[in-house]
Structure 1
Amino acid sequence: MKKIFSIFTISSLVMLTSCINGDDDFNNNQSQPYQVPAEPLLTNAQKELMDQMETPSVNLNVFRFFQHYLATTIYRNDARFNFTGTRKVPDNMWLALYTDVLGNLNQAKKIIPSEVKPPQISQTVWDKQQANKMAILNLMEIYTYQVLVDSFGNVPYSEAAKPETFVLPKYDDAKTIYSDLINRLNSITATLDSGYPSFETGDNIYNGNVADWIIVANSLKLKIGINLADVNPTLAKQTVESAFAGGVMTENSENALFRYDSTSPNFNRVYAEVIASNRNDFVAEEGIVDVMNTLADPRRPFYFTTVNGNYVGGTVGLTNTYSDYSHIGPSLLAPNKPGVLFDASEVNFYLAEAAARGYNVGASAQQYYNDAITASMEQWGVTPASIATYLSNPAVTFSSVNWKQSIGQQAWIAMFNRGFESWNFYRRLDYPVLTAPNAVAAAAGKVPTRLTYPINEQTVNGTNWSQASTAIGGDKLTTKVFWDIN
């Protein structure tokens, strides 16, 4: 496995490369900009993105509280959806995605065109390789913007990640951004050519395998398309069917996994926040635990520990005694456990939903639903016999009448360690039914349907923030993103 780069800023990466030139006069020019290779920038962007999506840190990622996966033992504010206090969760997430992810990707995209062709490589191969590299960088960028739009609504896009030109970027309409992301994905799938190489180093997810990135591109297009199903059914159907025809992720062997290792600071972020930090901040939440107990779900030993032989959940928004409740299971706490950016279970649930909506995706909603559950269980090592028993449970059997409930509940269970993706399923399908009895007044007693904009945007980019807030119907936790119309 490749050595993963630590969390470097652009400036610190520059420092690492400042002495590589052999010319004695090279460092005499104090204004000479030093160029960081694209490969470590890609690695860093992938790690920063995966860290943000994976971490249970109450400073960065609170979606496990939204989805009743985890409850807290000490810090109640975040589990009650109070994000305007000292932690400023939206500010931290915004900064991580725009600066640490998009900033690195943008810098890498500037470097690719300036790379010099080695003499032993033909011009045709070089051009194809460079095009593949740019497509992968753009694909990572599109994934990040999808997360930003789905979290906040209207966000800086056309003027974003260009500090040299736009110091205070405007906010673009979320619906317009989504349409452009689809157009960019269409261009990417037409550009990526699996007959040629891409990154020889730096890609910690697929090691530069272009065929795998094509599958991710189509799967991301499927995800974006299915989010549009209620607000723009024509574009949704067209996008989903095009993605399916191009080839999407249906097997676990195709999963997009970021490979953490066992050394600081490159280990898995769940391990970092629970084991390495020696903290007892989290217990399993009763919402997910009780449902899985009722279904005798065989994933429980992988998700949770037991208390006197039982799986017991605490209550989100309350202070819970650590010893009284189940904890995060040891299977999730290995330091080198890969982070999941995309997996077959998620995609099969999208296909099940697409089929239930009448889209042409090659198989029935029930088949994809069963495949999604199976893929989830196989990831955790559940035996085939236990999977078959679970699928035969009448409470699990797919309902063509109440398909939103069937898919919503099972996707919720499968996405236990992927709170953000679970939140998207919940907002789109309105299942499972989740409550927030301990929520702060700003959440109006409900699970938030978006994150509020960063406080820093209000104070620094106030004019654009105000216009965006008005455009979306108010900068509130209860405002819905444009595709969440039910």
Structure 2
Amino acid sequence: MKRIYWIFIVLIGISVSCTKDFEEFNTDQKNPTAVPGDFVFANAQKALADQVASTNVNQNIWKLVAQYWTETTYTDESNYDIVTRTIPDIIFRTYYRDVLNDLKDARNVINSEAAIGEEAAGEKANKLLIIDLVNAYTYNRLVDIFGNIPYTEALDIDNIAPAYDDAYTIYQSLFDKIDNAIANLNADYGSFGDNDLYFGGDVAMWIKFAHSLKIKMAITIADFSNGTAQSIIEGSYDKGFAPGEICELVYPGGSNSNPLYVDLVQSGRHDFVPANTLVDRMNELIDIRMLSYFTAMDFEYDVDPESGARIDTELPGDGVVVLIYKGGDSLVQVDLPFMALAVDTLNPFSYNVGGIYGESNNWSNFSHIADPIQEATFPITLLDGVETYFYLAEAAARNYSVGMTAAQYYNAAITGSFEFWGLTSDDAAAYIAKPEVAYDGANWKQSIGEQSWLAFYVRGLVAWNNWRRLDYPVLNLPPAPETDDGQIPKRFTYPVNEQTLNKDNYYSAGDAIGGDLMSTKLFWDKN
């Protein structure tokens, strides 16, 4: 898979050279000319990617909600307490202030710049359309988290109490915005160059991104407006990302490290372990992506207190576990409890075990998040061909005309996931051949829901969205869910600040969606 590694100086320019300018810029919202528009755009891209990547419990708990990870000592967020740390407030602030407002200011600056000649005019037009696409991606995330949100009246410094727009109406507006970008982006001209942290100014890739974003949004509303979804997807299915094509930010490290590194390594804290929800299912399927997802635990034999010799030792538990023999080249599934014989000590093995979701877990007693994911330079994916192909598998299952069968898209998506995580197409083929994995057209929601969840590891919001739509995979209910109905949340509640600073519009928005509750389903969640 080809990846573009952004020039280090771009991010350094934002975080160091322009620090003083950004401070002045952020205190003078009506005069956003202190910083070049390209830099403001790059800053918005980084803020967006940082929010998507982060596992800081103050701002992004999607990896917990999707039950990829669980907590060790403090279990509030694994039990869906989003109020104590005012998580919705921070999500609102990050997306509106740090992303959308910067995009607006970048647009204003670029609009004010003269474009002399055809090349400059084409480049300027491309920049403005790319800003629209990042804007659409961001608003899409906000709608999928909350439902109705401020949109038409948002980002107006003179209006501190914006009205909330209907969620589906926002979707329609975003479709129009994306269509306009597709119709007018011109790959014959440049755009942001190296200041585009996702594609390095490659306009052709932005066009593919636009089509994949349309596919993503359209399949989301398929149970609400099937005809609209079908029309949109049939017009874009062959124009978006294929597996191996990806919108990502590759962090250079240092002062611009992946937030996962900051949260998991630099903090010196051990707050998270893989959740048993995920680990147990991967053990059941002998899904070798576990070698890329987790750091396995070495099995330790008990010792005879008198002789000091190793003795037969039981690996407790229930269900199954995969024994990973030295080198990772031999995986054997066994039933638990399993008796490891002392005579086998010359053939050491490790295994994966996940922390119990929602409960306190001793960090030392469970598998850990794989080392590469904790590296400062680990890239964060915003949208890619694997995600797109799972959506197209679903489209085919719904009998849309999308060029291939549901099984073909499904198999290609799984293969793309294996290759993304450093495995081979042969590994994927062996996995797909398993009866429990092979595409089941009669139960397509289960097949696609479960396998997309396994593939979207560390992309928690995407996985949670799919779970809400497809009702798969089967997730565990934590011991003390802080939701109004005691179940897994269907949405996040609005920020506490909105209840005081934008009271009338807050209550109107809550009434419009059926109540500002975590149990309230969004318009597209029909099952």
- Asked if TM exceeds 0.5, the reply is yes
1:288 counterpart residue number: 278
**Could you list the per-position Cα deviations for residues 296-323 of structure 1 after superposition, in whole angstroms to 9, with x for gaps in the alignment?**
1011011111122110011121110001
After TM superposition, give the deviation of residue 16 of structure 1 in Å: 7.7
Check conservation: 1:258, 1:340, Cα contact below 8 A: yes
Pairing 1:341–2:382 present: yes
Match of 1:424 among 465, 471, 474: 465
Counterpart Cα distance in 2 of 1:439 and 1:224? 33
CA contact (8 A) 1:131 1:192 kept: yes
The aligned runs of 1:79-118 (5 Å cut-off) are 79-85=78-84, 87-117=85-115
Q: How does 1:109-188 map to 2 (within 5 A)?
A: 109-117=107-115, 123-164=117-158, 166-188=159-181
Residue 316 (structure 1) aligned with residue 357 (structure 2): yes
Residues 459-470 of structure 1: matches in 2 within 5 Å?
459-470=500-511
- Cα RMSD of the aligned pairs, angstroms, is 1.9
Letter in 2 for 1:383: T
Task: Quote the Cα distance in structure 2 between the aligned partners of 1:475 and 1:82.
Answer: 15
1:47-62 to structure 2, matched below 5 A, reads 47-62=46-61
1:251/1:263 Cα in 2 relative to 1: closer, same or farther (>3 Å)? same
Using a 3 Å threshold, how does the CA distance of structure 1 residues 11 and 106 change in structure 2: closer, same or farther? farther
**Counterpart secondary structure, 2:382:** strand
The alignment partner of 1:442 has SS state of coil
Return the match for 1:207 from 196, 200, 203. Answer: 200
Deviation at 1:480, TM superposition (A): 0.9
Instruction: Give 1:441 deviation, angstroms.
Output: 4.3
Q: Output the amino acid matched with 2:294.
A: F
Cα distance in 2 for residues equivalent to 1:468 and 1:439: 28
Question: In the alignment, is residue 250 of structure 1 matched against residue 276 of structure 2?
Answer: no
Query: Amino acid of the residue matched to residue 224 of structure 1?
Result: M
User: Shift of residue 464 of structure 1?
Assistant: 0.5
Q: CA deviation at 1:168?
A: 1.1
Q: Percent identity?
A: 40
Quote the residue 2:40 is aligned against.
41
Q: What is the rounded CA distance, in whole Å, between the counterparts of 1:142 and 1:33 in structure 2?
A: 22
Q: How far apart are the structure 1 equivalents of 2:411 and 2:32?
A: 54
How many residues end up aligned between the 2 structures? Answer: 465
| 1:302 maps to which of 292, 308, 311 | 292
Equivalent in the alignment of 2:450: 409
Q: Match of 1:251, as an amino acid?
A: P
Q: 1:2 aligns with which of 1, 7, 13?
A: 7
Higher strand share: 2
Query: SS state of the match for residue 76, structure 1?
Result: coil
1:399-456 superposed Cα distances (whole Å, 9 cap, x missing partner): 0110000000000001111000001111111111223232434242321110000001
Does residue 260 of the first structure (1) align with residue 251 of the second (2)? yes
Provide the C-alpha distance between the structure 2 equivalents of 1:219 and 1:169, rounded to a whole number of angstroms: 30
Is it true that 1:373 corresponds to 2:414 in the alignment?
Answer: yes
> Which whole-Å deviations, capped at 9, do the CAs of 1:253-272 have from their partners, x for residues lacking one?
x20011211102x1111111
Residues 21 and 34 in structure 2, CA contact (< 8 A), matched pair in contact too: no
Counterpart in the other structure of 1:227? 220
Measured in 2, the distance between the counterparts of 1:475 and 1:436 equals 21
Partners of 1:300 and 1:79 in 2: CA distance: 22
1:39 and 1:201 in contact (8 A); partners too: no
Larger mean Cα displacement after TM superposition, 382-391 or 410-419? 382-391
Q: C-alpha distance in 1, partners of 2:458/2:382?
A: 11
After superposition, the Cα gap between the structure-2 partners of 1:2 and 1:297, relative to the gap in structure 1 and judged at 3 Å, is same
Q: Tell whether the 8 Å contact from 2:24 to 2:34 is kept in structure 1 after alignment.
A: no
Distance 2:212 2:395 in 1: 13
Q: Say whether the 8 Å CA contact 2:237–2:402 is kept in structure 1.
A: yes
Q: Is the 8 A contact 2:115 2:121 kept in 1?
A: no
Unpaired runs of 5+ residues, structure 2, are 1-5, 300-349
In structure 2, the partner of 1:397 is: 438
Partner Cα distance (2:512, 2:31) in 1: 43
Match status 1:479 vs 2:520: yes
For residue 68 of structure 1, what is the aligned residue in structure 2?
A: 67
Distance 1:357 1:231 in 2: 13
Indicate the structure (1 or 2) with the bigger Cα radius of gyration.
Answer: 2
Aligned residue identity for 1:268: N
Instruction: Kindly indicate whether the alpha-carbon contact (under 8 Å) linking 1:73 and 1:321 is maintained by their aligned counterparts in 2.
Output: yes
Aligned to 2:395: 354
Matched, 1:198 2:191: yes
Query: Aligned AA for 1:279?
Result: R
The answer to whether the 8 Å contact 2:277/2:476 transfers is: no
CA distance in 1, matches of 2:25, 2:228: 46
Q: CA deviation at 1:384?
A: 2.9
CA distance in structure 1 between the aligned counterparts of 2:463 and 2:389, rounded to whole angstroms = 14
Q: 1:190 to 1:34 in 2, by over 3 A?
A: closer
What SS does the aligned partner of 2:233 have?
helix
**How many angstroms apart in 2 are the aligned matches of 1:322 and 1:14?**
40
Counterpart CA distance in 2 for 1:75 and 1:2 is 38
- Structure 1 CA distance, aligned partners of 2:216 and 2:247? 14
Partners of 1:468 and 1:32 in 2: CA distance? 32
CA 1:404/1:127 → structure 2, altered by over 3 Å: closer, same or farther? same
Query: Could you tell me how far 1:32 is from its partner in structure 2?
Result: 7.8
CA distance 1:47–1:192, change in 2 (3 Å): same
CA distance in 2, matches of 1:234, 1:305: 45
TM-score calculated relative to the size of structure 2? 0.85
Structure 1 gap ranges (5+):
19-30
| Distance in 2 separating the partners of 1:40 and 1:32 | 15
Is this contact kept in 1: 2:71–2:360, CA < 8 A? Answer: yes
